[in-house]
Amino acid sequence: MTIDTELETWRQEWQSETEPLPDLKKKIKRQNLRMIAGVVVIGICLVISTALARRSSFMSGLAVGIWLSSLCMGAYNLWIRRGAWKPTAQSTLAYAELNCKRAIARAKTLRFAFYFLLVAIVLYGTYVTWRWKGLSGLETAIFTGMMIELLFFQYLRHRQTRAVETSSNLMQRIKESQSE
């Protein structure tokens, strides 16, 4: 019996892990850039809030709130994204799993941010109600902005739920195709 070495080489190559899908790899790179951009934007917001805090006592209270909420959200975000920084291997399945982990982490972060903002609105709304006669236009604009942001977060949560389903379905299809 002779062994065909070329056939055996092809068989090994076929069973080895394949290169990740180019679109999936590009999506992961875009997500990495968005995370970096998010950190930069938060840093800019913290610098601006600190600069504005020097103007009035209200602004200093707002700056402290922004700093505390940024620290809280940042810590939660780091905690929820553990294990979702880079793929475990250079395979399509590893990239699909990473995409799914990141989608789930984004959904959890958005849910946390939604409820965090809801609590902030209730606290700020109490402050605004207590001080309604001496209310300035800036304080009203902040409250209105918070309400608009809450609606935007709700929209993003629904959109992210669909993204989690899509990434989970993609991962399942890849697992099924590899098991066959």
Residue given tokens 């972060």 in the structure block: 109
- Name the nearest CA neighbour of 100 among 22, 173, 19: 173
- Mean predicted confidence (pLDDT) in 21-35: 82
What's the CA gap between 101 and 152, in Å, rounded?
23
- Mean predicted confidence (pLDDT) in 29-33: 86
Q: Please, which residues have CB within 8 angstroms of residue 70's CB and are 6 or more apart in sequence?
A: 42, 45, 46
Q: What is the pLDDT of residue 158?
A: 93
User: Per-residue pLDDT tens for 92-148?
Assistant: 788 888 888 889 999 999 999 899 899 889 988 888 888 777 777 877 888 899 999
